[in-house]
Structure 1
Amino acid sequence: MQAWRERHPVAALTLSWVVTFLAAVLVYICLEMPNTLGQLRLMEFARIPAEAIMAAVILLSLPRRARVIVAAGFGALVGTIAVLNMFDMGFNEYLGRHFNIILDWSLFGDARGYLKDTFGGTATQVITVGVIALIVVLIVLVALAMVRLSNVLVTYKAIATKGTLIAGTVWITLTAFALEFHGIPLAADHTAGVIKYQVRAVQETLRDEAEFKKVAKVDAFGNTPGSQLVPDLRGKDMIFTFIESYGRSAIEDPIMAPGVDSTLAADTQALSKAGFAAKSGWLTSATYGGSSWLGHSTTMSGLWVSNQQRYRTVMASDHLSLTDAFKKTGDYDTVGVMPGIQKGWPEQSFYGLDKVYNAFQLGYQGPKFSWSTMPDQYALEQFQKQVHSKPRTDGKSLMSLLILTSSHQPWAPIPKLVPWDQLGNGSIFDSIEKAGNKASSVIADTTKSRQEYGKSIQYSVNSLTQWLERYGNDNTVLVFLGDHQPIARVSGNHASRDVPISIVAKDPKVLQKIDSWNWSDGLRPAHDAPVWKMSSFRDKFLTAYGSTPHPKTN
């Protein structure tokens, strides 16, 4: 290399300055990297970063060895912050919130499983290796870039000192006069702000964990005897069903709503002909775009389970869940049907479920529909055959918890309804799956994603209501709701967290008990129907159906 430099001094000098320029650009981009895709615009990079000025001041004052160590450390920190900002982009785009550096690492395993189901094992492996390599290379390159820039500063110390002084003066002036360009401050301290935010987020997470443990120990119905729980529902077969990603956007967004609303109207009419009536309202979910288990546990526990740490706390507690309340009466067998579960599920104990049917216990031999292991119609038919139709030899009623998954992103391919008596082992869906859209053709197209999302909700709701028409009886009471809104790219960056909830029954007394809730008649809640926090539903439901509070405080 040295010989080449001596033979080609001009080329060597040019290459050296090009590398230095690229190093400066890399560090600058990482310093100004926004944390949402909406902010990823050229104007965001037209600012003077305070961190660069401070770094120059420090590096110019240090001896060589210390300077190299500090420069490399600062570069690695800047690279790491840039990676965290990229994580933030992804979490804001899909989950509508920032990445939590304490709680969210476990979600990457779920993300990898989602990619595998969507794109296949080989593509997922390539993506995983590529992402890890990109993260490592970025951090290393930024560290090396900072070392190179520090060497340049020292080589041209006099010029660098004057330039740093001028830049500092300009930054202070811009800050003092709050000068902006298209609403963006020209003087930036973005990276320092990100560090402050992350430190504060860590502190708040740790404080929240301690406070939530105290909250979870308080339970208005924790000491209520079984004989005083839901007395007005004795003899009813209760079914609680969550429909994946069924949110307010499905009913009110101009792209998705027409099809979904017509489905809800037609299904309301069909159920009415079958003797059923329904009332519907809104719940504000504790999660958004994903992490469905947070919505499930919030609804069933009556606690605001908005992050993974809260979820672990609740699952390890003896806080009364709605399902467990029915079990505690001694008059119900409790069963879960969860086609999305493909591994051990210790949460069964918290929910008080005597039996859980997972993806491998429903006899399905048809194709997967992307993430969803089986169509909702098939899962419901197996619920009927293996659970609902079985006579209760002990004279008990049935309390069931169903999690339907066909409306899970990426909404391609989507199942179609087939004659119920032709479902068999599910192989009838082979041709439907092959003829459906490919996930890769939908996932990157916002308009198409919205359209297909709406169709998936129609399919799930149709499957559930047709099951109820076909197999429901005078004692069937169905409560179904969404767990969260779809991802922000589909529902919109400023969409609410509201999800629809409906209670359906033949016995008019069941719906009369909730007249005071002022819910809308039918399966479609009105725009101005009451909106409650999802965590309030458990206590309202238990109270409406005659449960007597006996608080537990520790």
Structure 2
Amino acid sequence: MPQHTDTRQSSGAPSDSGTPTDPAEPGAASETEEAKAADGGAPASDTEASGEAAAESTAETDEATEDTAEPAEDSTEPAKGDQTGEPAETAQTAQAAEPADTAARPDDTDEPTAEPTAEGAEATGEAAEPDNTDEAAAKPAQATEPAAETDAATQPTAKPAETPAIRPWQLRRGWRRWKGAHPVAAGRVSHGVTLLALLLVVAALLLPNKEAQFQAAAFTRLPVEALLLGAVLLVLPRRPRLAAAVLGGLALGVLTLLNVMDIEFNQYLGRSFNVVLDWELLDDAQSYLADTLGGTVALLAAVGVVLLVLAVLAVMVLAVVRVGDYLGRDKARSTRGLLMASVVWMTCMALDIQISGIPVASQHTVVMVKYHEQALRSTIRDERDFSRTAEADRFGQTPADELVPDLRGKDMIFTFIESYGRSAIEDPIPAPGVTKTLDTSTRALADAGFHARSGWLTSATYGGGSWLGHSTFMSGLWVDNQNRYRTVTSGDHLTLTEAFKKTGAWDTVGIMPGVQKGWPESKWYGLDKVYNAFRMGYAGPKFSWSTMPDQYALEAFQRLEHGKKRDKPLTSFVILTSSHQPWAPIPKMVGWDQLGDGSVFKPIEAAGNRPADVLTSSTRSSEEYGKSVEYSVTALTQWLERYGKDDTVLVVLGDHQPNARVSGDHASRDVPCSIVARDPKVLDKIADWGWTEGLRPDHDAPVWKMSDFRDHFLTAYGSTPHPSKR
């Protein structure tokens, strides 16, 4: 419509501040009509038409004053009243007024009517006011009494007033009116939102993927990716620019989420998030939360994560769109700004300008994208190469009678203590208590006739993923990710427990208090029987993630398998879980004869710390971690003193270091490993290993990769290598 264009040109031009100026006051239309009435000649019908035209023109003028970044929406809004988009009450009032005018002018011709009164002119002017709905609805009724009588006749019963629901378009109009009334404040708000959007984009481009890298200098850099994105948005027309901004925002949101995942994985597992292999670990994380903090907390955490993902994506899209709109609003100014920023970036790059050792000219996002792309390629390549590696086994074809002949007749016990790492022995917080316990236990075992040798093994995992450490140690393969774990456990690579079973001279059993689901890997480990969390008769409370105290699990092992008379010795695979994070509450030792079904632990669990009390403090976590290791070591060594025999051989080690909250950001992956036996010949076989006497390895004791232990062990005890063919 022509009047649309005229209205926008006259009152919608941008102001100097970049904010469109206010449209003309709606009352102007009323003043014009009153002037015509005073001259004495405008027909009433013309007055009504002019009022409607003025309302429509004013509504469209409101659209023109909207910020250029916000597309006009009134033209496509479903009308609630008349064409002006006013509420239904105004339209109905206008319709009710028409019969009154007709009654006043029965000969509805082109001849001019009598001069309207001042009251009628005032009513006409108020009807043209688009924003004052209540007054517009009331004034026409005052102009013609017959209309009022008609309304009274047709609506004899008055309905109680209802508060109308606030519609989104009403909020937008309210915002427009506020902008018109407060142009300076509105301009400041608009510029503030744009600045915030720009800061969000820059922060996302500079976000580190490790917690230790969070420092002020990391966010004072100039990212080249922001300059490139700005250049792309600047040269595109409006619609392509909007599409590019949405896609760019989604990409930036995904990259932000990957960086957050890297932060958490580096904190808990000492490595970055693998976009191919680690998705299934998220389910394990939820299960851990449910076991530790309860199912409700786990559910709320899952919902919170989903909402956070959606919020990050939405916010990044809106931020990039906002920046793109700002750049497109004044392309000449934006071009100058981008050129200046590009010159600054190139200068900082050429001169290698740094703040706190961090280059000002940043390429962080490019580096991160390359990193994830290389990790993806490496994962695909590793899957192919590891399959061939797993098929080759130095002892894969060794005959049964040539496997571990020097251990025939021995009861073999391979035991893992959860999260038992070098930090427990050398970190200043947990070390005093743990080293005292190890030294005390060494002396107690010596009094019982047992002696030990200890060294260090470098675990394939860190902070979690215990099954990766277990499979690495038992198979002699470096199993450091979930894909390798699936590959090795679905094959026939020889494990230590399978080697003893293969001889036919040993029975095999697994004591797995942490297993609460099906565990098909037991076949690969060569276990005849497996006792999971539900098969050991425990009726006491859980201790956070741990289903039962280690003392009870060891006593159940004694009752169910180790203490029974049998024709063959036993090879056992035992996992102790009381030192699993979050290290609250921690069990305490009770009399071995008092264990019963585990109910004795109820008051101990009730009086213990809650996980939330420990997780929030790194120092507190370290202290409680040390206490949990002390408990596990004490339970195991007391069990050995109590039930160990002349032919008992214990191999005990940790599966991995505790997470970075306890061990620090730069901790090694080393764990202690000890071999304990009464028979001196057992330890004589490993005399050339250079391991330390006792349960506590020296700081400079030999360090092997955990995957090397299997071959060292099999060779030391007389096994003959017969490699399998690929």
TM-score by length of 2: 0.75
The separation in 2 between residues aligned to 1:37 and 1:550, in whole angstroms, is: 47
The offset of 1:384, in angstroms, is: 0.3
SS state at 1:85 partner:
helix
The offset of 1:531, in angstroms, is: 0.6
Q: Aligned to 2:679, which of 504, 507, 511?
A: 507
Does 1:434 find its partner at 2:606? yes
Question: Any idea what the Cα deviations from partners look like across 1:376-419, whole Å, max 9, x if unmatched?
Answer: 00000000000101222xx2210000000000011011000000
The offset of 1:68, in angstroms, is: 1.2
The separation in 2 between residues aligned to 1:313 and 1:438, in whole angstroms, is: 38
SS state at 1:303 partner:
coil
Check conservation: 2:212, 2:665, Cα contact below 8 A: no
Across the two proteins, how many residue pairs are aligned to each other? 552
Check conservation: 2:512, 2:532, Cα contact below 8 A: yes
Structure 1 residue aligned with 2:11: none
Does 1:236 find its partner at 2:410? yes
Range 143-152 or range 406-415, more displaced: 143-152
Structure 2 residue aligned with 1:460: 632
Matched residue type, 1:19: V
Matched residue type, 2:497: T
Structure 1 residue aligned with 2:493: 319
Structure 2 residue aligned with 1:52: 226
The separation in 1 between residues aligned to 2:223 and 2:372, in whole angstroms, is: 19
Question: Any idea what the Cα deviations from partners look like across 1:10-36, whole Å, max 9, x if unmatched?
Answer: 244333223222211221211111111
The separation in 1 between residues aligned to 2:177 and 2:243, in whole angstroms, is: 30
Matched residue type, 2:324: S
Structure 2 residue aligned with 1:538: 710
The offset of 1:304, in angstroms, is: 0.5
The separation in 1 between residues aligned to 2:365 and 2:505, in whole angstroms, is: 59
The offset of 1:151, in angstroms, is: 1.2
SS state at 2:279 partner:
helix
Matched residue type, 2:668: S
Check conservation: 1:241, 1:481, Cα contact below 8 A: yes
The separation in 2 between residues aligned to 1:274 and 1:117, in whole angstroms, is: 38
Question: Any idea what the Cα deviations from partners look like across 1:495-532, whole Å, max 9, x if unmatched?
Answer: 11110000111111111111111111111111111111
Does 1:419 find its partner at 2:585? no
Structure 2 residue aligned with 1:4: 175
The separation in 1 between residues aligned to 2:570 and 2:175, in whole angstroms, is: 82
The offset of 1:60, in angstroms, is: 1.3
1:51-450 residue pairs with structure 2 within 5 A?
Answer: 51-392=225-566, 395-450=567-622
The separation in 2 between residues aligned to 1:495 and 1:149, in whole angstroms, is: 42
Check conservation: 2:543, 2:578, Cα contact below 8 A: yes
The separation in 2 between residues aligned to 1:62 and 1:411, in whole angstroms, is: 56
SS state at 1:535 partner:
helix
Matched residue type, 2:356: H
Q: Aligned to 1:495, which of 656, 667, 675?
A: 667
Check conservation: 1:78, 1:191, Cα contact below 8 A: no
Question: Any idea what the Cα deviations from partners look like across 1:344-398, whole Å, max 9, x if unmatched?
Answer: 0011111011111000101111111111000000000000000101222xx2210
Matched residue type, 2:389: V
Matched residue type, 2:175: W
Change (3 A) 1:76 1:231: same
Q: Which has the larger Rg?
A: 2
The offset of 1:41, in angstroms, is: 1.9
Q: Aligned to 1:485, which of 643, 654, 657?
A: 657
Structure 1 residue aligned with 2:696: 524
Check conservation: 2:238, 2:328, Cα contact below 8 A: no
Q: Aligned to 1:33, which of 190, 207, 216?
A: 207
Structure 1 residue aligned with 2:647: 475
The separation in 2 between residues aligned to 1:312 and 1:12, in whole angstroms, is: 59
The separation in 2 between residues aligned to 1:537 and 1:142, in whole angstroms, is: 49
Question: Any idea what the Cα deviations from partners look like across 1:45-73, whole Å, max 9, x if unmatched?
Answer: 10111111001111111222221111111
Check conservation: 1:259, 1:455, Cα contact below 8 A: yes
The separation in 1 between residues aligned to 2:307 and 2:677, in whole angstroms, is: 55
The offset of 1:7, in angstroms, is: 4.5
The offset of 1:3, in angstroms, is: 5.1
Name structure 1 gaps, 5 residues minimum. none
The offset of 1:261, in angstroms, is: 0.7
The offset of 1:275, in angstroms, is: 0.8
SS state at 1:551 partner:
coil
The separation in 2 between residues aligned to 1:425 and 1:7, in whole angstroms, is: 72
Matched residue type, 2:281: L
The separation in 2 between residues aligned to 1:316 and 1:176, in whole angstroms, is: 53
Change (3 A) 1:69 1:510: same
The separation in 2 between residues aligned to 1:219 and 1:421, in whole angstroms, is: 45
Identity %: 61
> RCO higher in 1 or 2 (8 Å CA, sep ≥ 6)?
1
The separation in 2 between residues aligned to 1:524 and 1:80, in whole angstroms, is: 46
Does 1:21 find its partner at 2:192? no
Check conservation: 1:243, 1:407, Cα contact below 8 A: yes
Matched residue type, 2:287: G
Matched residue type, 1:457: V
The offset of 1:145, in angstroms, is: 1.4
The separation in 2 between residues aligned to 1:331 and 1:371, in whole angstroms, is: 36
Matched residue type, 1:179: I
The separation in 1 between residues aligned to 2:699 and 2:197, in whole angstroms, is: 53
Divergent runs of 4+, >6 A: none
TM-score by length of 1: 0.98
Aligned CA RMSD, in angstroms, stands at 1.0
The separation in 1 between residues aligned to 2:517 and 2:174, in whole angstroms, is: 61
Check conservation: 2:582, 2:611, Cα contact below 8 A: yes
SS state at 2:280 partner:
helix
The separation in 2 between residues aligned to 1:222 and 1:149, in whole angstroms, is: 63
The separation in 1 between residues aligned to 2:361 and 2:179, in whole angstroms, is: 41
Matched residue type, 1:136: L
The offset of 1:436, in angstroms, is: 0.7
Matched residue type, 2:333: I
The separation in 2 between residues aligned to 1:339 and 1:211, in whole angstroms, is: 34
